[in-house]
Chains A and B, each alone.
Chain A
Amino acid sequence: MNPFEHLRIAMDALAANKLRSFLTMLGVIIGVASVIMLVAIGEGAKTYIRAELMGIGTNLLIIVPGKTETSGMGHMPSGVQKLTLTDMRALEKRASLIPVMTPVVVSNAPVKLGNRLRNVQIIGTDQNFEAVRNLHVEIGSFISKADVDGGRRVAVIGRTVKKELFGESNPLGRTVKIGETKFRVIGIMEKKGMTLGQDIDDHVFIPVETAQEIFDEDGLTNILAQVINESAIERAKEQIRGVLIDRHAGEEDFTIVSQQAMLSTMQTILGTFTYVLGGIASISLLVGGIGIMNIMLVSVRERTREIGLRKAIGAAQRDILLQFIIESVVLSMVGGLIGILIGAGIAYGAKAIFPVLPIDVSTWSVLTAFIFAFMVGAFFGIYPASKAARLNPIEALRYE
């Protein structure tokens, strides 16, 4: 018998019970939709984070005070000895694998112009920051070596700060107050937008020593070091360790985080997240499969006489078996198809809401969903179908 005939029989049977067929599919629909959606969003987030992390500069090492056991993003300064500008000077002299580095002091402070006020993040740094962080001034100039050495009160402002405080007027040469100290605006950064959850445009940059002075802080939040090339990263770490341990009385009271480590930490977190949600999705597929089996068993019972009749007019066991397996496979695959459409719809909807996320429904996730839907239908259809196929035609015809 032609397999298309079996398919037609299955479709007719399902169409005769549309609502029930749809409800039976729901488990598979939800399972597949969540798989498609999670994979698309998860992969999008990974790609996004990778691009963002790589965008903060190349071959970066971040040196933070305090020792943490774990590498990556989570560091908890234990507050032993501070990281200072002198430490950085020593590194500049002795760490040959690090041609450029820049100090960073971060603090929050109100920035005032006349009666306008905005709370922004103030970054104290030096002339190398532009190169190391891959952030650039658009109008005017960035902090110079002379500004740093002279402890000058000059500020470079981000786009958002400019817009909020100055509107359309030209800020260059004007004076703003950071806290109670007056600063002269010397530059405006180019527009950057959100990076890793931080609005770079909402920052103000001032010379590092000036920052330490006005915030009464003699340590650094971190030191950003750019290694000459990727293969030198591990050796560069060793150099830094050597220099700093030497200076910190033999204590390793700092942590060196590499971009790579941050990346893999993020990937691991996202990966775990994806696995957990994937597990939930699989359970829902499984539940969906059991739902299909349940309804197929009900259907076999309801259609006992039909099965008897089909056998009487010439259906072999194999025909009945195929009829019911195909029915359950069609249920799960149509469910899978609807699930794929819904999942993709949600994924692309998320992309419309968060355009920065490079969300894409991959072919392999669609294929995997299809194959899984097929297997669920076939697996959970076998038992009811073989039950139907083994019915005795005479007894089936007599069934009330």
Chain B
Amino acid sequence: MAQSPLIELDDVGKVFITGALRHEVLKHISLKIEEGEYLALMGPSGSGKSTLLNILGCLDVPSGGHYRLEGREIASRADAELARVRNQFFGFVFQSFNLLGRYTVEENVALPMVYRGLARRERLQRARDLLARVGLKDFTRHLPSELSGGMQQRVAIARALVNSPKVLFADEPTGNLDSKTGQEIISLFGELSAEGTTLVVVTHDPRVAEHARRVLTLIDGEIVGDKRNGEAA
């Protein structure tokens, strides 16, 4: 395939400056992510995993290097442009679920479509479809606080998927869950990957790494390992 990768980082660096301190968190990161990949980002705490994920997801911008999305350089750092990319290309799942407590489950899931300009009825229909997909068909009208942690995380995953993103990013999605519910989420990711969703997951959980088809290891802001699991998996 001569097609350009979905996301390409070319010599990306990230430097945080706090007062007089200059903290180089990412160094010379070059990376290609193809469509349909299931990638796990691992490494010790403070190694820069979240920072890398945020840059990949256009929540943050690199201090240097190139970022290409489907071969196009995202040079513009204009807020409106980045917001549009996040809305239409990416979905995010966080360690804490970040559901809005005053909205019902289906309204939470429909939220990204608000910023896409879809009509409310269409949004809620699509949200219900996705809730059915993550096994929460009977909880559409509940408030998030009425759901268990694992269910809330599934709502968050439905929300991340609602705009049919090119990539689903997750930053320690099982970090706030017990190991059984964590396993449910991991299985769900496995299913999504099998259905063709591109996944990039930051995790400390070795079970995620087992499922993922590619494991990237980061230490001190550098990629020290890029291992592909056997195709047989």
Contact = CB atoms under 8 A, between A and B. Distances in A.
Interface stretch (B114-122, B130-138, B198-206, B218-226): B114-122
Interface residues of B, number: 26
A310 B102 CA distance: 14
Interface in A237-278: none
B147 interface: no
A397 interface: yes
B24 interface: no
Interface stretch (B25-33, B68-76, B77-85, B184-192): B77-85
B54 A311 contact: no
B100 interface: yes
Contacts of A397: 94, 98
A349 to B, nearest CB: 38
Contacts of A76: none
Given A313-B92, A315-B115, A394 B59 contact: yes
Contacts of B116: 314
A305 interface: yes
Given A1-B115, A5-B114, A316 B94 contact: no
A16 B102 contact: yes
A190 interface: no
B100 A313 contact: no
Contact of B84 (A15, A309, A314): A314
Question: Which 10 pairs from chain A and chain B are nearest by CB?
Answer: A314-B87, A316-B83, A314-B115, A16-B102, A313-B112, A316-B80, A309-B98, A317-B79, A312-B92, A314-B86
B80 A313 contact: no
Contacts of B100: 306, 309
B59 A313 contact: no
With most chain A CB atoms within 10 A of its CB, the pick from B54, B83, B87, B102 is: B83
A2 interface: yes
Given A313-B115, A397-B94, A12 B103 contact: yes
Contacts of B112: 313-314
Contacts of A2: 117
